[in-house]
Amino acid sequence: MARHLITSAIPYINGIKHLGNLVGSQLPADLYARYLRARGHEVLFLCATDEHGTPAELAAAKAGKPVDAYCAEMHAVQAEIAQGFSLSFDHFGRSSSAQNRVLTQAFAARLADQGLIREVTEKQMYSVADGRFLPDRYIEGTCPNCGFDSARGDQCDNCTKQLDPVDLINPRSTVSGSTELELRETKHLYLRQSEMKGALAEWIEGKQDWPILTTSIAKKWLNDGDGLQDRGITRDLSWGVPVQFEGAPWAGMDGKVFYVWFDAPIEYIACAQEWAAATGGDWERWWRTDKGAEDVTYTQFMGKDNVPFHTLSFPATILGSNEPWKLVDYIKSFNYLNYDGGQFSTSRGRGVFMDQALSLLPADYWRWWLLSHAPESSDAEFTWENFQQSTNKDLADVLGNLVSRVTKFCNAKFGAVVPDGGAWGAAEEALIAEVEGRLVAYSTHMEAMEVRKAAIELRSIWVAGNEYLQASAPWTVVKTDPAQAAAQIRLALNLIRVYAVISQPFIPTAAASMMTGMRTDDWTWPDDVRSALTALPVGHAFDVPEVLFAKITDAEREAWQVQFAGVRD
């Protein structure tokens, strides 16, 4: 049994996330965590809300609430939605936790001791209209590199070039839209990332098994232009981890907090500490290589926009501390999921957000479609036509139909028990061989985190059962050879249990319903397919389950298309 630490990119606190956010980090991380647990491995799966920074302050002000109360409320909302999607976090923490405050300040002090923090007196953008210094992300303008007219003060989303607000052409405040900006003097701390370039390059070069998307982004940020730059890690804000604290190796930093991109990744470690405080677990054996974490495989899941910070900035913090912290072993990154020819947009009411999705259909519909269309090699696109077609065909026509046909037929002809009689023949042997081969391929893809390929193999296993039933036709055979029909249905009933076990990482609620219907809690992985197909013995009772998946009608699809179209440009 191996030990796996899994984290997904932590969602920001200000608002409910859309389906693209879900499939870009949390959902595939949950898929992998569920699969590893099903294979008997020890897993610690962590996530949290990212709560600091100006966006939280502004969202709280808009809601008319103190920022700490707003964050507590939104954390509860996001936790409830995560539960609705069956995301199996071992702990869903908060970056505003006491643990993260202490740990962030400790890392900063340690980096200073290592000579990797420098104090800089600089001029930053101050909005006269807003009466405040503006964080980089709250300044927009034209990118000097590619000409994109909505580049942020820290990065251009079009060409991904790292920027400073002073680089922008015609900058404006995104808070008020004011162009009355001026440079004012302020003092900040910088992480000397440039000093870590060699160590980071060596570390990244050693990750030959990483996805091309991950390494290409990391190397671009590491080597393009002037290469890796020192990065400001403090901001003039009131909400966040205070920069000035007892024992801090600097002075004159009152009223400043650490930049959210410095403290947020540290929450991964703090989250384990929160988990330990709640459960009595040992967080150090997961994060400290001097306490057992050298045996842990650590995997991160994230969208491509988060890759630079997790391949460079956070590793610079970990490596720069010169302490025995666990570094990530594998970063699974994803492209973007777009919505029906454009982008998801909260302000325009465009696209389906996580709470809305759950109000329309059970989570397994969304889980299946998103994972089977995961944007791994390129951006993907959600359309209602494809969603309806895929879920109806895969979930209702293939998997749901098999469960319904087998249980109803058996109940009608043999009663609600696994029937006796007959024996396996060539058709059954062929099915067993196909399932064995496809299950090996499925497991191989799951272990490699090849999400779409795994979904294809899983669906093929479902299809194999349907094709067997269609060809063997027990509903016809029963008229002339009831014993042989009983053997065919006995195999099919056991196949339902096997399908539940192997499908659970993708569609956990439906899998649980299948197991309940089969009146078993034997979730043993079918390493031996032949034995697994006799796990439910003759005479074992079952219930005819409710319809697993109702089909999406044309009328529903058309109504949802209109409902979530939003306002177009």
CATH number for the domain spanning 200: value is 3.40.50.620
Please report whether residue 317 resides in a domain: yes
* Whole-angstrom distance, CA of residue 74 vs CA of residue 66: 12
Number of domains the chain contains? 2
DSSP 438-467: HHHHHHHHHHTT-HHHHHHHHHHHHHHHHH
Tell me how crowded residue 458 is: count the other CB atoms within 10 A of its CB.
27
Q: What is the CATH number of the domain that holds 426?
A: 1.10.730.10
Give the pLDDT confidence score for residue 348 in this predicted structure. Answer: 81
* Whole-angstrom distance, CA of residue 411 vs CA of residue 18: 43
| 458 and 388, same domain (yes or no) | yes
Tokens of 267: 């929450």
Please report whether residue 456 resides in a domain: yes
| 431 and 492, same domain (yes or no) | yes
* Whole-angstrom distance, CA of residue 302 vs CA of residue 333: 5
| 417 and 518, same domain (yes or no) | yes
Tokens of 288: 């400290």
Tell me how crowded residue 34 is: count the other CB atoms within 10 A of its CB.
21
Indicate the annotated binding residues for Zn(2+). 143, 146, 156, 159
Tell me how crowded residue 61 is: count the other CB atoms within 10 A of its CB.
12
Tell me how crowded residue 562 is: count the other CB atoms within 10 A of its CB.
8
DSSP 238-287: SSS-BS--TT-S--S-TT-EE-HHHHHHHHHHHHHHHHHHHH---THHHH
* Whole-angstrom distance, CA of residue 20 vs CA of residue 352: 9
| 404 and 476, same domain (yes or no) | yes
Q: Mean pLDDT in each 10-residue stretch from start to end of the chain (569 residues)?
A: 96 93 97 98 98 90 94 97 98 98 98 97 89 84 94 87 89 91 92 94 94 93 81 91 96 93 97 98 98 97 94 96 98 96 84 96 98 96 97 98 97 97 96 98 98 98 98 97 98 98 98 97 97 97 94 98 80
Indicate the annotated binding residues for ATP. 346
Domain that holds residue 432: 384-532
Give the pLDDT confidence score for residue 568 in this predicted structure. Answer: 55
Indicate the annotated binding residues. 143, 146, 156, 159, 346
Closest among 560, 391, 407, 432 to 489, alpha carbons compared: 407
Please report whether residue 127 resides in a domain: no
Please report whether residue 179 resides in a domain: no
Give the pLDDT confidence score for residue 160 in this predicted structure. Answer: 82
* Whole-angstrom distance, CA of residue 116 vs CA of residue 545: 61
Sign for the CA dihedral angle at 344, 346, 352, 355 comes to positive
Sign for the CA dihedral angle at 413, 419, 423, 428 comes to positive
| 57 and 198, same domain (yes or no) | yes
Give the pLDDT confidence score for residue 136 in this predicted structure. Answer: 82
| 307 and 408, same domain (yes or no) | no
* Whole-angstrom distance, CA of residue 13 vs CA of residue 92: 13
Give the pLDDT confidence score for residue 86 in this predicted structure. Answer: 98
Looking at the DSSP assignment, which residues form a beta bridge with residue 169?
142
